[in-house]
Amino acid sequence: MRTTLRNPYVYLLFVVPTIALYFLFFIYPMLTSVFYGFTNWNGLDTKDFIGFDNFVNAFKDEDFRNSIWNNLYILLFSCCVQVPLIIVFSLLISSVKRFQGFYKTTVFMPSILSTSVIGILWGYIYDPDVGLINNILKTFGLDPIYFLADTKWALLSILITNAWQWMGFYIVLILAAILGIPKDIDEAAMIDGATGVQRAWYLTVPLIKPIINVVIMLSIAGALRVVDIVLVMTEGGPAGATDVMASYMVNKAIKYGDYGYGTALSIIIFIFALVLTALYQTLVVRRQEKVEY
Amino acid sequence: MQKKLVSVLALSVAMSAFLAACGSNENNNTASPSPSESASPSPSPSESAPASESTAPEKVENFTVSLRHIQIGDAQKFRKAILDDVVTKTEADVPGLKIELDGVEDSVNRFTKLPAEMAAGNPPKIFDVFGGSGDTQKYAGAGRMLDLTPILDELGLKDKFLSGVLEPFSVDGKVYGLPIGGNTEGIFYNTELFAKYNLNPPTTWDDLIKAADTLKQNGITPFAVGSKGAWVPNMLVNTFIGRIAGEGTNAGFITGASQWNSPDVVAAYQLFADWEKAGYFTKGELGKEYGDMLNDFVAGKAGMMFDGSWRSSAFKNDAVGAEIAGKVAFVNLPAVPNGKGDQSSVNANYGEGYGFSSDLNDNELKAVKAFIKNMYSEEMQLRGLLEDGVLPSMKLTDVSQVTDPIVKQVLDVLNGATASFPHFDSVVQSKVYTETETQLQKLIAGKATAQEVGTAIQKVQDAENAAAAK
């Protein structure tokens, strides 16, 4: 047996099934979709090769451009609003002495729920007739707000729901990093007379920077691939106000059977995500030195 | 050494064979050994049926046929009952047959599920399908649907259908689908609310506008509508186009005889935008589903709704709209001032029916024939009309038994019409129809003007017409 395992081909043999599956379910579909992206295939008839037409049309397509902007809004919202909030909440939870486990579990809870459940749940919260928020507004004599039916409110409503779902997950990540910082650093600063805010800002935050970077990376990736919550709550409506790249692609390809165009859109989304993450990696993450305690 | 290598090899081969075996369990237990089965190993539900050893003495082969229908939910229960009876009858007619019903919501089936199955080549054996170039004619052109012409001849059904109703289901003179019934789209109004505010029935334009304004002033939505799915408001737009631009307009879009950005069609969109601006429709309509529209109407939150005549069965005593049963009436959209079309024309659609997969073995073909024979009979057509308010697609000898007041009104509307026009969704290409939905929602949201809507749709229409001409 010992000599058998020295034979390198044996190892190759072990990975063959995996590679075959990987090829069948990842490499092959990817290659074919690149091909479909250059055709006008509608899922039924012949596929005609039409060169870069799909890609040119995509950038001429006002609705698709609008959905790119929506993705960028989501990205900005997660990096500029969500991440600071996550850090603040983590710092708060890390310094409570009692029931810390309870807070941790509570904030984490939404991220173990399915997106469909959350979408429907918040759909009721936002409901103009029976919803929680509008009932509160009604008691103050205000007009109901059509959160998911009004083009001005719909995207923000979805962003809040999405933030509610995922913040807990990131909070737990950051909390773990904060609790991993040796206590003596904090105690030394306290003896030197630093206030709580000073200690948080000048000690804790710099020490957890690597994990904050991970959170930002995940947020960027998450913002670019967000689609499930949109499909559950508004299907991209009203009038495309909440369409993101992926939901627009799903509607075009699956709902309206424009597979060629849909595949081209998916390739654009892929390149978009790749470029943005690569940019963040090279510009921000690489420049930082490693934190050592 | 070698031995061990060989045994490891053998083990991994065995493992992968085992894993591979998990993936393919079809073709082992199909009911009948037809050549088409082995040629296309598509995993359709019918093929994974248990091949239970037949217990019947003359060795009847048990087999299943999948049937996709859209009769789900309370509002469809009458139609579902008819379907169930047809299924029971068909199963009795064909020994060994078991029909597996698969109920899917209408628009999910039409726009998501069926297209995907058609693309993959594994549609159900019997399925609900719409006529027109976006549906039946597209699938038939791709060879996915069974040519029914010989079956119709065999069963002697061809002349039993009303004239022209098979058109949307035909390609080059061959019939690929059969319309189950027809409908017209018009105004349902709450007679109690109209009486309360001393309003005349909306049979003239002035009465209609007066009713809408009065209801609005009293805090009641004039027209209930659920525009999350844009096909719902598209019904009204379609009739506006027929009335303002003429009843031939809808059919002319694909030939180039009429244009979406022509002044008349834009005027129809403008009228819709004006109503929108006047607040005639449900607030927050873009977030409301089709079902919400009926709920609002039944709850008395709205005085009218523009809907298809198929909704009439919802206002029976034992149906979802029982609360206002007997207090609902149906009228055609009144004559539009300065409209170019025949102002007593109605929208009449025979767009929905059943189609059949072209991939059938002998047994399944027998089942399909029996299904057609049982479903498209005078008895079932009459039941559809009496129980469900669906207008027959076949010639009926006697309709005097109709007692439902709303169905009577629907029939009156149709009988009083001098001309009819189809809904454009059964005429134009699917990409164009998609664009009408997108643009209409923009119009509702105030993001586009009527002229912009017309121009945008015409752009897609031009491209599709050019592609079709190739």
Q: Which residue of B has its CA nearest to A43?
A: B119
ipTM of the predicted assembly exceeds 0.95? no
**What is the rounded average pLDDT of the residues A239-249?**
89
Could you give the C-alpha distances from B74 to B77, B79, B183, B461, in angstroms and in order?
A: 5, 10, 19, 37
- CB nearest B228 (choices: A128, A237, A256): A237
Residue B449 touches chain A, beta carbons under 8 Å: no
* pLDDT beyond 90 at B304: yes
> What is the pLDDT at residue B9?
57
In chain B, domain spans? 42-182+350-388, 185-347+416-469
What integer pLDDT is reported at residue B210 of this predicted model? Answer: 93
* A122–B contact, CB cutoff 8 A: no
The neighbouring-strand residues paired with B172 are: none
Q: Looking at the domain B185-347+416-469, which fold is it? A: D-Maltodextrin-Binding Protein; domain 2 (3.40.190)
- B285 lies within 8 A of chain A by CB: yes
- Yes or no, beta carbons of B287 and A256 under 8 Å apart: no
Containing A278, the helix (H) or strand (E) segment is helix A259-280
Listed in sequence order, the residues at least 6 apart from A198 whose beta carbon sits closer than 8 Å to its beta carbon are A189
Q: B55 or B2, which is more confident?
A: B2
CB within 8 Å: A238 and B144: no
**Across the interface, do B1 and A3 touch by the CB < 8 Å criterion?**
yes
Touching check for A53 and chain B: CB below 8 Å? Answer: no
As a whole number, mean pLDDT of residues B379-398 equals 83
Q: Which residue of B has its CA nearest to A15?
A: B12
Closest among B312, B330, B307 to B390, alpha carbons compared: B312
CA atoms of A16 and B17, how far apart (whole Å): 13
Least CB–CB distance from B283: residue in A4, A146, A237: A146
- Least Cα separation, residue A254 to chain B (angstroms): 6
Q: Which of A18, A22, A151, A152 to mutate to test the interface with B (most CBs of B within 10 A)?
A: A151
Q: Residue A195: CB partners within 8 Å, gap ≥ 6?
A: none
Helix (H) or strand (E) holding B221: strand B221-224
In this complex, how many residue pairs, one in chain A and one in chain B, have their CB atoms less than 8 Å apart?
90
Distance of residue B466 Cα from the nearest chain A Cα, in angstroms: 14
CA atoms within 13 A on the CB side of B372: 29
Q: Which pLDDT tens digit goes with each residue over B320-349?
A: 788 888 889 999 899 888 888 788 888 888
**Average pLDDT score over residue span B2-24:** 55
**pLDDT given at position A234:** 87
**What domains are defined for chain A?**
62-285 (1.10.3720.10)
Average pLDDT value for residue range B306-311? 89
B24 min Cα distance to partner chain A (Å): 15
Candidate from A151, A254, A258 with C-beta closest to B447: A151
Q: B438 vs A241: CB contact, 8 Å cut-off?
A: no
The predicted structure's pLDDT at residue B303:
93
Q: Which of A239, A255, A259 sits opposite B444 (nearest CB)?
A: A239
Asked if residue B208 lies in contact with residue B386, where contact means CB atoms within 8 angstroms, the answer is: no
CA–CA dist B247, B263 (Å, integer): 15
Do domains B42-182+350-388 and B185-347+416-469 share one topology? The answer is: yes
Q: Could you say which of 3.40.309.10, 3.50.50.60, 3.40.50.360, 3.40.190.10 is the CATH number of the domain covering B42-182+350-388?
A: 3.40.190.10
Q: Does A13 touch chain B (CB under 8 A)?
A: yes
The Cα–Cα gap between B163 and B350 comes to 11
DSSP class of residue B421 equals: E
Q: Which chain B residues have a beta carbon less than 8 Å from that of A44?
A: 118-119, 138-139, 141-142, 144
Chain B partners within 8 Å of A234 (Cβ): 287
User: What residues in A contact B438, CB-CB < 8 Å?
Assistant: 63, 239-240
Give yes or no for B111 touching A (CB within 8 A). yes
Note the pLDDT tens digit of each residue in B150-201. Answer: 999 999 888 888 877 888 899 988 999 999 988 889 999 999 999 999 999 9
Counts for chain B of helices (H) and strands (E), in that order: 18, 13
Position with higher pLDDT, A224 vs A121: A121
B8 touches chain A (CB under 8 A): yes
Taking residues A153-177, what's their average pLDDT?
92
